[in-house]
Each structure stands twice: as structure tokens, then as C-alpha cells.
């Protein structure tokens, strides 16, 4: 960590600062130039509070040189993490060359719907079933999900197909209900719900951690660190688009996050093209692009409701379209020299 002092700092202030820093357990290296004084902090600076330091009146600017995440840091864990989800013959691996596609509807609506979709996406090759039981909605007047009943229907779909289930948790107080969920999703809006992350760190559940609406890669990794430092290392990162000033797509899908995250961390990285773009017709090109960029998997909304055919297009693709997309994704996976599970 490097701290640049402001002009006009007195010797007393400088010495107080150095004494305080040493007291925090870091080494200090002073470099005084004609126009500025720079202090280098050496050793384990991950516990130094950069906000506190940079807010000091005598400080002009602070920069962290090493990343403040440890458990999630590839520097200390060079091997790719492989996360195991489910068990027995339906066990799924993600990361370290194992590619997986999660598919299913935005919301669980009925037994017929979720079992029907589960069968369809399994036939196509998806190895995990997603479906929202608890739904985070901007408006209190929008559908909030079937909640506990939705979880029950997901279990039925798992029984019927063997697919491990993936669903979003919105509060630590619901953890009991999620006991047998195979992969617990933390949504973008809760990426910095630190009380929830701490609770998940105490469990052994695999966690799918989605990037916040306007989070940096570092913040995403620090949120993973909250879970991992609690003892749960089964974390999968998910890029799902970030907020921008343009409105043609709901968010901007940041695909360079894939190679960057894999450089910074050993955790698997998957991509959600459905939520990122908000347009079903962009799912195919963005799924292909994400795969080509090296993603370890995809999470795709697939919907099928013959009685309300109108809604089929809502940010979701149909099972038939999913089949086409998966075929193209599989071809791309072959090119980039890895095997699709």
C-alpha cells in the first residue's frame, strides 16, 4: 500500500502517522521527494482500512498494491477450484475445465411448469435446474414468488429428473428452508448483504454469488471472501451485467470480467446472459460469446407454458431455442479445447 502525503505536513504529524501505522502491524518505508513524500506499507496490509487512511487530513492519496482478498486470491491458491454440486450420479462439477449449464424458469409457477421444463432442459443437456422461489422485485406490487411452496416444487422437479436445484436466497432467516438446496444463489442486490454472506460462510452449501448491479471485480471478490473466510470455500462467481448509461440492453454484459476474474482468483466464473441483456433474442449470441471468452458455465432462463404462450418470450427462451443455443455453445467449447461435461 502506498500513501502520498499532502504538502505542508509537519514532522510531528508524519511521525505520528508512521507510529500509528507500525502499531497496525505493517512495515513502513519512507521516500521523501522535492514535491511530495510517499510512504510505502509493507507486509500484510489486508487489515489496513483504506477508507480510514485516505480520509486523513494529511493524506493526499492512497493506493493498494496487493489485493485485499486472500482466500479468493489466485496468488495464494494457484490451482483452479472445482465446485461439486449435488451427489451420486447427478453430481455436477464446475471449474477447472468442467463446464456446466444451469437452466430453468425465472419463477417457479406450478408443478407442471417446473417439472416440464426440468425434463426439457435435461433432455437438451443442462445439468442443473434453476427456478426462483423468492423473487427480488424493484416494485412491491410485482410478483414476489411462491416462496416456500416454490422450494417444494423445485424438490419435486429434482425427484422427477435428478437435476440438482439452484435457487436464490433473500434473507439469512430463510436458511432452514434452503437446507437441501444444492446450489444457493445470492442475487446481485444482496451481493453486499454482509449479514447474509456471513451466515452462508458458516454453511457448507455451494454458493452462486452474482456480481452487484454496479460492483467492481474487487468488491465481488471481497464478498466471496466474506463467505470463504467463514470456512465455506464452495463459491462460484457469476457475471450478470453491470449498470451503464445506455438503455438498449438492461445492463452491459462485461465479458472481459471472465478472464480478469480467472486471473485474480481461482474460483469458477459463470455468466447469466438472460438477466444481463433482458432480451431473449440476445441470449444466443451472448451465450456463445461468454463461452468463447472462457466461462466455466452459463445460467440461462428457459420458459415453457403452452397455455400462456404469450409469455414465452419474456426474457426467456423456449426449450427448443435452448436446444439450439446449447448446440452452438457445445461447438464453441470444443474449439477452446476443453470438454463439456
Residues 229-258 that bind a second copy (CB under 8 A): 229-230, 242-250, 252-256, 258
User: How would you classify the pairing of strands 2-5 and 37-42?
Assistant: antiparallel
User: Contact between 20 and a second copy (CB under 8 A)?
Assistant: yes
User: Contact between 17 and a second copy (CB under 8 A)?
Assistant: yes
User: Contact between 55 and a second copy (CB under 8 A)?
Assistant: yes
- On the CB side of 72, CA atoms within 13 Å amount to 31
Site for a second copy in 74-103 (CB under 8 A): 75
Of 91, 202, 204, 308, the one binding a second copy (CB under 8 A) is: 308
Residue 110 or 256 having the CB closest to a second copy: 256
Residue 294 buriedness (CB in 10 A; 0-12 / 13-18 / 19+): middle
User: Contact between 320 and a second copy (CB under 8 A)?
Assistant: no
User: Contact between 176 and a second copy (CB under 8 A)?
Assistant: no
Of 26, 28, 56, 160, the one binding a second copy (CB under 8 A) is: 56
Alpha-carbon dihedral angle through residues 37, 40, 41, 43, given to the nearest 10 degrees: -160
Of 119, 155, 156, 328, the one binding a second copy (CB under 8 A) is: 328
Residue 138 or 339 having the CB closest to a second copy: 138
83 phi and psi, to 5 degrees?
-95, 130
**Using CA atoms, how far apart are residues 109 and 89, in angstroms rounded to an integer?**
28
Site for a second copy in 22-51 (CB under 8 A): 29, 31, 33, 35-36, 38, 40, 42, 46-47, 49, 51
| 115-123, 150-158, 178-186, 314-322 -> range binding a second copy (CB under 8 A) | 314-322
Other Cβ atoms closer than 10 A to 229: 17
Of 293, 299, 300, 302, the one binding a second copy (CB under 8 A) is: 293
User: Contact between 219 and a second copy (CB under 8 A)?
Assistant: yes
Which residues, in sequence order, are CB contacts of 217 under 8 Å at separation 6+? 211, 257, 260, 261, 264
SS3 290: helix
User: How would you classify the pairing of strands 183-186 and 207-210?
Assistant: parallel
Enter the C-alpha cell of residue 235.
Answer: 463459491
193 phi and psi, to 5 degrees?
-85, 85
Site for a second copy in 106-145 (CB under 8 A): 134, 136-144
| 96-104, 118-126, 152-160, 188-196 -> range binding a second copy (CB under 8 A) | 188-196
User: Contact between 172 and a second copy (CB under 8 A)?
Assistant: yes
SS3 41: strand
User: Contact between 316 and a second copy (CB under 8 A)?
Assistant: yes
Amino acid at each position: 500500500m502506498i500513501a502520498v502525503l499532502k504538502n505542508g505536513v509537519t514532522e510531528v504529524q508524519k511521525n505520528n502517522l508512521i507510529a500509528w501505522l507500525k502499531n497496525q502491524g505493517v512495515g513502513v518505508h519512507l521516500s521523501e521527494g522535492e514535491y511530495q513524500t510517499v510512504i510505502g506499507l509493507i507486509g500484510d496490509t489486508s487489515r489496513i482500512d483504506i477508507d480510514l487512511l485516505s480520509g486523513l487530513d494529511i493524506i493526499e492519496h492512497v493506493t493498494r498494491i496487493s489485493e485485499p482478498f486472500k482466500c479468493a486470491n489466485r496468488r495464494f491458491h494457484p490451482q483452479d477450484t472445482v465446485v461439486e454440486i449435488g451427489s451420486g450420479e447427478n453430481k455436477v462439477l464446475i471449474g477447472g475445465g468442467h463446464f456446466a449449464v444451469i437452466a430453468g424458469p425465472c419463477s417457479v409457477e406450478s408443478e407442471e411448469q417446473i417439472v416440464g421444463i426440468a425434463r426439457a432442459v435435461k433432455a437438451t443437456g443442462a445439468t442443473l435446474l434453476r427456478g426462483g422461489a423468492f423473487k427480488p422485485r424493484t416494485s412491491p406490487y410485482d410478483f414476489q414468488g411462491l416462496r416456500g411452496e416454490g422450494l417444494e416444487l423445485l424438490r419435486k422437479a429434482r425427484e422427477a429428473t435428478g437435476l440438482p436445484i439452484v435457487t436464490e436466497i433473500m434473507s439469512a432467516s430463510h436458511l432452514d428452508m434452503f437446507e437441501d438446496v444444492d446450489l444457493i444463489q445470492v442475487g446481485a442486490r444482496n451481493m453486499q448483504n454482509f449479514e447474509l454472506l456471513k451466515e452462508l460462510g458458516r454453511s457448507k452449501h455451494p454458493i452462486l454469488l452474482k456480481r452487484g448491479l454496479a460492483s467492481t471485480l474487487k468488491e465481488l471478490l471481497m464478498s466471496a471472501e466474506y463467505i470463504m473466510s467463514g470456512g465455506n470455500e464452495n463459491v462460484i462467481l457469476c457475471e450478470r451485467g453491470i449498470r451503464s448509461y445506455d438503455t438498449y440492453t438492461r445492463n452491459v454484459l462485461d465479458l472481459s470480467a471472465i478472464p480478469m476474474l480467472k486471473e485474480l482468483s481461482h474460483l469458477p466464473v459463470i455468466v447469466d446472459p438472460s438477466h444481463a441483456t433482458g432480451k431473449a433474442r440476445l441470449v444466443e449470441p451472448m451465450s456463445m460469446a461468454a463461452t468463447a471468452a472462457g466461462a466455466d458455465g452459463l445460467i440461462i432462463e428457459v420458459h415453457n407454458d403452452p397455455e400462456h404462450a404469450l409469455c414465452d418470450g419474456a426474457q426467456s427462451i423456449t426449450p427448443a431455442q435452448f436446444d439450439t443455443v446449447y448446440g452452438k455453445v457445445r461447438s464453441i467449447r470444443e474449439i477452446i479445447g476443453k470438454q463439456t461435461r
